[in-house]
Amino acid sequence: MKYDLRNITRLLKALGNPQNSFKSIHIAGTNGKGATASFTASILQEHGYKTGLFTSPHILDFNERIRINGNQISDTYIKRFLTKNLALIKRIKPSFFEVNTAMAFTYFADKGVEAAVIECGLGGRLDSTNILQPEVSVITQIDMDHMQFLGNSLKQIAMEKLGIVKKDTKVIVSDNNNKLVSLFHKVIPKRDLVYLDDAAKLKIIKNTNRGLQFTMIPKGSKSIKLTTPLSGSYQTRNAAAAYYAAKEFLRINREQLLIPKLKQGIKNVKQNAGYFGRLEELKTGSRNYLLDVSHNPDGIRNAVNAAKRINFKPDVVIFGIMNDKDHMGALKEIKALKTKVILTKPEYERALEPGILYTAALRIFKKSDLLAAARIKDSLLIAEKLHAKKIMILGSFFVVSDAMKALGFKHLPGSD
At 205-216, the pLDDT tens digits run 999 888 999 999
Domain boundary among 228, 255, 273: 273
**pTM greater than the 0.85 cutoff:** yes
**What's the pLDDT tens digit per position in 339-376?**
999 999 999 998 999 999 999 999 999 999 999 999 99
Residues 353, 251, single domain; the answer is: no
Alpha carbon distance 53, 156 (integer Å): 28
Q: Does the pLDDT at position 147 exceed 60?
A: no
Residues 253, 358, single domain; the answer is: no
Alpha carbon distance 35, 320 (integer Å): 22
Nearest C-alpha neighbor of 262 from the set 295, 222, 291: 222
Query: Could you tell me which residues are beta bridge partners of residue 216?
Result: 202, 224
Residue 370 lies in a domain: yes
Please report how many Cα atoms fall inside a 13 Å half-sphere around the Cα of residue 298, on the Cβ side.
15
Residue 104 lies in a domain: yes
Residue 1 lies in a domain: no
Residue 256 lies in a domain: yes
Residue 257 lies in a domain: yes
Residue 415 lies in a domain: no
Query: Could you tell me which residues are beta bridge partners of residue 204?
Result: 214
Residues 261, 291, single domain; the answer is: no
Domain boundary among 273, 304, 321: 273
Query: Could you tell me which residues are beta bridge partners of residue 206?
Result: 213
Q: Are strands 390-394 and 316-319 parallel, antiparallel or unpaired?
A: parallel
**What's the pLDDT tens digit per position in 62-87?**
999 999 999 999 999 999 999 999 99
Assess whether the previous peptide bond of 57 is cis (omega < 30° from 0).
yes
Residues contacting residue 235 through CB under 8 Å, at least 6 positions apart = 35, 212, 228, 278
Residues contacting residue 124 through CB under 8 Å, at least 6 positions apart = 28, 130, 160, 161, 162, 163, 164
pLDDT the model gives residue 145: 59
Structural domains counted in the chain:
2
Range of the domain at 75: 6-273
> What confidence category does residue 413 fall into, taking pLDDT thresholds of 50, 70 and 90?
confident
Please report how many Cα atoms fall inside a 13 Å half-sphere around the Cα of residue 21, on the Cβ side.
18
Residues 120, 19, single domain; the answer is: yes
Residues 253, 203, single domain; the answer is: yes
Report the greatest alpha carbon distance in the chain: 62
Residues 260, 360, single domain; the answer is: no
Residue 373 lies in a domain: yes
**What's the pLDDT tens digit per position in 384-396?**
999 999 999 999 9
Residues 200, 320, single domain; the answer is: no
Q: Are strands 66-68 and 51-54 parallel, antiparallel or unpaired?
A: antiparallel
Asked whether 72 and 411 are in contact (CB, 8 A), the reply is no
pLDDT the model gives residue 154: 84
Domain boundary among 219, 247, 273: 273
**What's the pLDDT tens digit per position in 244-265?**
999 999 999 999 999 999 999 9
- For residue 74, CA distances in Å to 107, 276, 411 come to 10, 19, 14
CATH number of the domain where residue 259 is located: 3.40.1190.10
Helix, coil or strand: residue 233: coil
